[in-house]
A and B are shown apart, each in its own frame.
Chain A
Amino acid sequence: MKRKGLLLAGFSALLVLLTGCNSLAVLNPKGPVAKTQSEVIIFSMIVMALILLVVYVLYVVIISKYRASKAAPDYEPPHEEGNWLLEMIWIVIPIIIVTVLSVVTVRSTSAVEKVPAGYEDQKPLVIYASSSDWKWHFSYPEEGIETVNYVNIPVNRPVEFRLYSFSAITSFWVPQLGGQKYAMSDMVNTLNLVAEHQGSFVGKNSNFSGKGFSQMEFEVLAMSDKEYAEWIKDVKNTASELTEEEFNTLLETNFVGRKTYTSTHLDFRPAPEGENAGHDHGGSTDSESNSDSEMDHSEMDHSNMDMDHSTDNTTNGN
C-alpha cells in the first residue's frame, strides 16, 4: 500500500533525523534547558514509535489476512463479544506507559522551571524582556542598560528573563536555549535560561499578536564573560539615555531596528509585578521576586499601568 509506505518512510526519516540532524533547532540544544527538553522529546518519540510499530504490525497483518477476496466464499465471520483478558491488556499496558511518561513530564517540567542544575549557586543575571507592537525591549536593571530587538548574555551564567507585554500576549522563545513562555500585560512570567555555547541564536515571538507578528524576531548573542563586560562598558560609553519621551515614541512605532540605551524604562514604567501587578496565576515559581507579587486582588492598583498607548499605537499603525 502506497500510503502506508509513505508513512513508514516518514517516520523512519524522523528517527534518523533524531540522531544527529542539526537543522532541527529544537533538537540541537545549546543550553541545559533546551537539552532537557530535547531529551524528553527524543525519549517520547522512541516510545511513540514503539506504539506505532505495534499498531502498524497488527494492522498490516490483519488487513492482509482477512480480506474478503482471500476468504473462502462460504466463510462466515464468527460472532465475538470481546475478550476480557485482551481488553485488560490494552488498558493496562497504556496505563503503564502513561504513568512512565507522567513521571518524566513532571520531573522535567519542574527541572526546566528552575534555575538549571549546576547553576544554582550563581546569582542569575536578571533581564526584563517585554514586548510591544511589534518589538522586544530588554532591560538590564543591574547594568542599567536597555536594548531593543537584541539581547547579549554571558555564556555559562543563568539568566532570569522576566517577561511581560505592553500589548497583546506574546511568547518569548529561543528554541536552542529553551522552550517558550508567555509575556502578558498584567503579570510577569519568569523564564530561566543558560547558554552553554557562545554564538548567535534566533529568538522570536511565537504567539500571534497581530499584523507585525511575523517580524518579531530578535538575536540572542551568547558571549564570554570578558566580551560581555566589554560590551557593557562600550554601551555605557557610547549609547544615550532612554527618556520617557523616547520610550513612548518607541512604543508607538510599529517597527524599529536595534537600539541601545544607558538606562531602562523600568524607572518610569515599572513592570507589572509587586505592587504594579494585576494578578498572578498562583503557580509555584521559585524565584523570590514572584512571592511579593502574591497580593490580594482587592488591592489591585493600576494607576501605574498606563495602557492607553496601545490605543494610539494600533490606530496610528494602520
Chain B
Amino acid sequence: MKWDEFFVTGEPMIYGAMASIVLASLAIVVGLTYFKKWGYLWREWLTTVDHKKIGIMYIIAALLMLFRGGMDGLLMRAQLAVPENGLLDAQHYNEIFTTHGLIMILFMAMPFVIGLMNVVVPLQIGARDVAFPRLNAVSFWLFFAGAMLLNISFVIGGSPDAGWTAYFPLASIELSPTVGNNYYSIALQIAGIGTLLTSVNFLVTILKMRAPGMKLMRMPMFTWSVLITNVIILFAFPVLTVSLALMMFDRMFGAQFFTMANGGMDMLWANLFWVWGHPEVYIVILPAFGIYSEIISTFSRKNLYGYKSMVYSMVVISLLSFLVWAHHFYTMGHGVTVNGFFSISTMAIAVPTGVKIFNWLFTLRKGKIEFTTPMLYSLAFIPIFTIGGVTGVMLAMASADYQYHNTMFLVAHFHYVLIPGTVFAVLAGFYYWFPKMFGFRLNDRQGKRAFWLIAVSFNVTFLPLFFLGLKGMTRRTYTYSAETGFGPLNMIASIGAIGLALGFVYLVYNIYWSFRYAKRDTTNDPWDARTLEWSIPSPVPEYNFALIPKVNGLDPFWESKKTGQPLTEGEYEEIHMPNNSGQPFILGMIFMAFGFCMVFSWWVPSIIFGIGIVIMLAVRSFERDHGRHISVKEIRETEQRLRGEQS
C-alpha cells in the first residue's frame, strides 16, 4: 500500500482537517505537559470507574461529535445552497452525508443520552453506584474507540460513502472498494458492543439497586425511560452485531450474504439494518421524553400529569418500535398486505406519543411556569416535535410514501423529530443537571439567547425541505440544476444552517463563560426540584449518598421538603467503593488498534491485538480487587465541606 492510498490526499479541505487534527493533538499534549496534568488526567479521568465522571466524559465526547457532525451538516448545506455548486464533488459529498448521519445518531445523540443517564440514574434511584462500575468504564472506552476509528477514516483511508444505512449491494466490496465501509462495519461493531454492555449494566442497576421503598411505579420518569430504552437496546443491538459481522464477512472475507449474485440478498441487509435501525431512533427519543418529563414538572412546580399512562405509553411504544421496520422500504415491492400491516403499526405509535404530548400539556396547566433555559428547550419541543410527529404519520401511509420516500420531505421529517426530540432534550438535560455535575449553573441569559437562535434557525433550516421534497428533490443528491427550481428554498435552508451553527457556538461560549465567571452555589437544589438527585450535595461526592434515602412515594425529595420529614435516618457508616482501574482504557485502546488493523486487512497485527484483548480479559478474571472503604470520618468531612457547613 502506498502512502497516498493510505492518507486521503488531493483536497485542500482534507489537508486542512489533517493539519487541525495534528495541531489540536499537539496542543493537548503540550498543554498537559506544561500544566503537569498527565497524572491528574490518568488518575481522575482515564482510570475512573465513577459513573458521574464516565457520564461527563460521554457528554464531552458527544459535544465534540456534535461539532464534527455539525460541520458536515454545514458543508452539505453550503454545497446545496445554489444549483450546480462546485464546492464539493460527489465522492466528498457522499462521504460527508454518510459520516454526518452515523456520527449524529451513533456518536452524538446516543452517547449524550448515555452520558446523562450515567450521571443521573443512580442518583435518581438513590444508589451509590451502577451495578458493574468497571464494566461501565469498559463501555465508555469501547464507544470512544469506535468513535475515534470512524473519525480518523476521514484522513486515513477514506470515510464510508454508502449512506448511514449502507444498503447492499452498494456497500459491497465491488461497488465500494475503498476501506470506508470497512470502517463502518468495525467502528460500529466496537461501539455497539459497548452500548450493549451499558444496557445490561443499567438494567441490573435499575432493577436491583433502587433505594428501599422505591417501587417500579415510584421511579422518576427519566429512570423509567432509561429502563425501557435499555430493554430496547438489549433486543435491538444484537441484530446490529450480527448484521455488521455479516457485512464484515462479505467485505473482507469474500462471503456473499448480501451480494448481487450467488444467492446473496440485498434486501436481507435492508431488513436487518432497520430491525435494529428503527428501534434505534426510539433509543434516542425515549430518554428525551424522560428528560422533558422531569424538567416540565419541575418548572411548572407540579407533579407529572398521568404518570401511569406516561409509563404505559412508553412500554407500548417500545413494543411497537419492533414491528414497524419495513416502513423504511415500502417501495421494495412488498405488496399491499405487508405494506398495509407496517402502515397501521407505524401509525399506531402516534397514539401513545399523543398521550404523552397531552399529558405534558396538562402538567403545565394550572402550573407556575418558569422560563429557564432548560424549560425553554422543553417548551419548544412540544410544537416542533408535533410537526415531526404528524409528518411521520403522513410518511407512514404507504401509498403516499411512494412519493415522499428518499426525498427532502423525509430529511425534513426526521430532523424535525431528532433535533427537537433528542438534541433539544440533551441540551435541556445538560443545562438542568449541570449544577449537579459541576456545582454551579450555566448563565441563564446567555443560555436563552443561544436557545432562541437555535430554535428559530432550526425552523428556517428544515421547514423549506418539506416543500423541496414535494417539488421532487431527492435526498443525498450533491447537486441539482437551476431548471429544477430547487435553488431559492435551498438557499433559505442554508442561511438557517448558519444561524444554527452560530447558536451552537454561542452555547459553547455560554459554557466557557460560566466555567470562568458563574457564581458557585452551595445549595444542592438550585431549581427547587422534586427527585432524589437534588437532595445530595453538588458536585456529588463519589459515594453519592452518605445515607441511603427511604422512599415512600413519587417525588420523595419534594415531599420531604413540603412535609419536613427527613429522607434519611441513622448514622454514617463505612462505604465500600470500587478501585479505579487502567484496564478499561487500555482495553479500549487495544480494541482501537485491533479495529484499525482489521480495516486495512493487516492480519498479523490484527491477530496480535486480538490476542491482546483475550489476555486483558483473562487478566481481569484472575484479578483480586475487593475495592476499598471510605471511612466515616472522611464521609463526615466531605459532607460538611460540600454542604458549606463549618466543621
Interface of A toward B, CB cutoff 8 Å: 2-4, 6-7, 10-11, 14, 17, 23-27, 34, 36-38, 40-41, 44-45, 48, 51-52, 55-56, 58-59, 62-63, 66-68, 71, 75-83, 86-87, 90-91, 94-95, 98, 101-102, 104-106, 108-113, 133, 167-169, 171, 173, 175, 178-182, 184-187, 189-190, 202, 204-214, 278-285, 300, 302, 305, 307, 310-311, 314-315
**Contact residues in B for A109 (Cβ distance below 8 Å):** 336, 339-340, 343, 397-399
Given A37-B403, A214-B479, A278-B265; A87-B367 close (CB under 8 Å) = no
Task: Return 20 A-B CB contacts under 8 Å, by A number.
Answer: A3-B455, A6-B463, A7-B383, A7-B459, A25-B472, A37-B400, A66-B365, A77-B301, A82-B306, A101-B393, A108-B400, A169-B169, A182-B329, A189-B333, A206-B407, A214-B90, A280-B333, A284-B335, A310-B169, A311-B174
Distance of A5 from chain B, by nearest CB (Å) = 10
**Contact residues in A for B467 (Cβ distance below 8 Å):** 14, 17, 24
Distance of A150 from chain B, by nearest CB (Å) = 16
Given A77-B367, A185-B169, A213-B476; A55-B386 close (CB under 8 Å) = yes
Given A82-B308, A310-B174, A310-B175; A55-B357 close (CB under 8 Å) = yes
**Contact residues in A for B403 (Cβ distance below 8 Å):** 26, 34, 37-38, 41, 175, 179-180
Given A77-B301, A175-B403; A10-B463 close (CB under 8 Å) = yes
Q: Tell me if B647 is interfacial: C-beta within 8 Å of chain A.
A: no
Considering the complex, give the chain A residue whose CB is closest to the CB of B336. A110
Cα–Cα, bound, A51→B354 (Å) = 10
Distance of B387 from chain A, by nearest CB (Å) = 7
Considering the complex, give the chain A residue whose CB is closest to the CB of B484. A202
Cα–Cα, bound, A268→B509 (Å) = 66
Considering the complex, give the chain A residue whose CB is closest to the CB of B483. A202
Considering the complex, give the chain A residue whose CB is closest to the CB of B555. A79
The answer on a CB contact under 8 Å between A94 and B351 is yes
Can you name 13 extra interface pairs (CB under 8 A) apart from A63-B379, A281-B333?
A3-B459, A7-B384, A7-B387, A82-B305, A90-B358, A98-B348, A105-B344, A108-B397, A179-B399, A202-B472, A208-B406, A281-B332, A305-B261
The answer on a CB contact under 8 Å between B267 and A37 is no
**Contact residues in B for A111 (Cβ distance below 8 Å):** 399
Given A44-B400, A98-B347, A214-B480; A106-B368 close (CB under 8 Å) = no
Distance of A16 from chain B, by nearest CB (Å) = 12
Q: Tell me if B55 is interfacial: C-beta within 8 Å of chain A.
A: no
Cα–Cα, bound, A303→B331 (Å) = 28
Given A66-B365, A87-B355, A171-B405; A25-B471 close (CB under 8 Å) = yes
Q: For the complex of A and B, list the 7 residue pairs with the smallest distance between their C-beta atoms, beginning with the closest.
A: A179-B402, A283-B335, A82-B306, A48-B390, A168-B170, A108-B399, A189-B333
Cα–Cα, bound, A112→B260 (Å) = 29
Distance of A316 from chain B, by nearest CB (Å) = 12
**Contact residues in A for B350 (Cβ distance below 8 Å):** 94, 98
Q: Tell me if B263 is interfacial: C-beta within 8 Å of chain A.
A: yes
**Contact residues in A for B177 (Cβ distance below 8 Å):** 314-315
Distance of A179 from chain B, by nearest CB (Å) = 2
Given A44-B393, A62-B361; A105-B398 close (CB under 8 Å) = yes
Cα–Cα, bound, A254→B508 (Å) = 45
Given A169-B170, A178-B402, A182-B331; A91-B351 close (CB under 8 Å) = yes
The answer on a CB contact under 8 Å between B333 and A285 is yes
Q: Tell me if B580 is interfacial: C-beta within 8 Å of chain A.
A: no
Considering the complex, give the chain A residue whose CB is closest to the CB of B167. A169
**Contact residues in B for A102 (Cβ distance below 8 Å):** 340, 343-344, 347
Distance of A288 from chain B, by nearest CB (Å) = 15
**Contact residues in A for B474 (Cβ distance below 8 Å):** 173, 204-206
**Contact residues in B for A37 (Cβ distance below 8 Å):** 399-400, 402-403
The answer on a CB contact under 8 Å between A40 and B175 is no
Q: Tell me if B249 is interfacial: C-beta within 8 Å of chain A.
A: no
Q: Tell me if B364 is interfacial: C-beta within 8 Å of chain A.
A: yes
Given A98-B348, A208-B476, A281-B332; A105-B402 close (CB under 8 Å) = no
Q: Tell me if B300 is interfacial: C-beta within 8 Å of chain A.
A: yes
Cα–Cα, bound, A213→B91 (Å) = 11
**Contact residues in B for A212 (Cβ distance below 8 Å):** 90
The answer on a CB contact under 8 Å between A36 and B472 is no
B326-342 contact mask (Cβ, 8 Å, vs A): 1 or 0: 00010111111111100
Considering the complex, give the chain A residue whose CB is closest to the CB of B171. A168
Cα–Cα, bound, A23→B486 (Å) = 10
Distance of B421 from chain A, by nearest CB (Å) = 15
**Contact residues in B for A36 (Cβ distance below 8 Å):** 399
Interface of B toward A, CB cutoff 8 Å: 90-91, 94, 162-163, 167, 169-170, 174-177, 259-267, 300-303, 305-309, 329, 331-340, 343-344, 347-348, 350-351, 354-355, 357-359, 361-362, 364-371, 379-380, 382-384, 386-387, 390-391, 393-394, 396-407, 452, 455-456, 459-460, 463, 466-467, 469-472, 474-480, 484-485
**Contact residues in B for A307 (Cβ distance below 8 Å):** 259-261
Distance of A130 from chain B, by nearest CB (Å) = 13
The answer on a CB contact under 8 Å between B405 and A180 is yes
From B90, B338, B340, B354, give the contact of A94 (CB < 8 A).
B354
Given A98-B351, A168-B175; A106-B371 close (CB under 8 Å) = no
From B266, B338, B477, give the contact of A185 (CB < 8 A).
B266
The answer on a CB contact under 8 Å between B331 and A181 is yes
The answer on a CB contact under 8 Å between A95 and B368 is no
Considering the complex, give the chain B residue whose CB is closest to the CB of A71. B368
The answer on a CB contact under 8 Å between B266 and A186 is yes
From A14, A78, A106, A310, give the contact of B366 (CB < 8 A).
A78
From B332, B407, B477, give the contact of A182 (CB < 8 A).
B332
The answer on a CB contact under 8 Å between B384 and A105 is no
The answer on a CB contact under 8 Å between A169 and B266 is yes
Distance of A11 from chain B, by nearest CB (Å) = 8
**Contact residues in A for B472 (Cβ distance below 8 Å):** 25-26, 173, 175, 202, 204
The answer on a CB contact under 8 Å between A41 and B369 is no
The listed residue with most A CB atoms (<10 A of its CB), out of B305, B350, B384, B470, is B470
**Contact residues in B for A101 (Cβ distance below 8 Å):** 347, 393, 397
The answer on a CB contact under 8 Å between B364 and A4 is no
Cα–Cα, bound, A36→B386 (Å) = 26
Cα–Cα, bound, A282→B403 (Å) = 23
The answer on a CB contact under 8 Å between B382 and A40 is no
**Contact residues in A for B348 (Cβ distance below 8 Å):** 98
The answer on a CB contact under 8 Å between A180 and B406 is yes
The answer on a CB contact under 8 Å between A80 and B305 is yes
Cα–Cα, bound, A82→B329 (Å) = 39
The answer on a CB contact under 8 Å between A68 and B368 is yes
The listed residue with most A CB atoms (<10 A of its CB), out of B329, B357, B366, is B366
Considering the complex, give the chain B residue whose CB is closest to the CB of A64. B369
The answer on a CB contact under 8 Å between A105 and B340 is yes
**Contact residues in B for A67 (Cβ distance below 8 Å):** 369, 371
The answer on a CB contact under 8 Å between B485 and A23 is yes
**Contact residues in A for B167 (Cβ distance below 8 Å):** 168-169, 207-208
**Contact residues in A for B170 (Cβ distance below 8 Å):** 168-169, 208-210
From B176, B259, B366, B400, give the contact of A40 (CB < 8 A).
B400
The answer on a CB contact under 8 Å between A180 and B331 is yes
Considering the complex, give the chain A residue whose CB is closest to the CB of B370. A68
Cα–Cα, bound, A51→B485 (Å) = 31
**Contact residues in A for B463 (Cβ distance below 8 Å):** 6-7, 10
Considering the complex, give the chain A residue whose CB is closest to the CB of B94. A211
**Contact residues in B for A169 (Cβ distance below 8 Å):** 167, 169-170, 266
Cα–Cα, bound, A103→B463 (Å) = 29
The answer on a CB contact under 8 Å between B361 and A58 is yes
**Contact residues in A for B329 (Cβ distance below 8 Å):** 182
**Contact residues in A for B397 (Cβ distance below 8 Å):** 40, 44, 101, 104-105, 108-109
**Contact residues in B for A17 (Cβ distance below 8 Å):** 467
The answer on a CB contact under 8 Å between B266 and A77 is no
**Contact residues in B for A58 (Cβ distance below 8 Å):** 358, 361
Cα–Cα, bound, A90→B356 (Å) = 10
Given A108-B399, A214-B479, A311-B174; A75-B368 close (CB under 8 Å) = yes
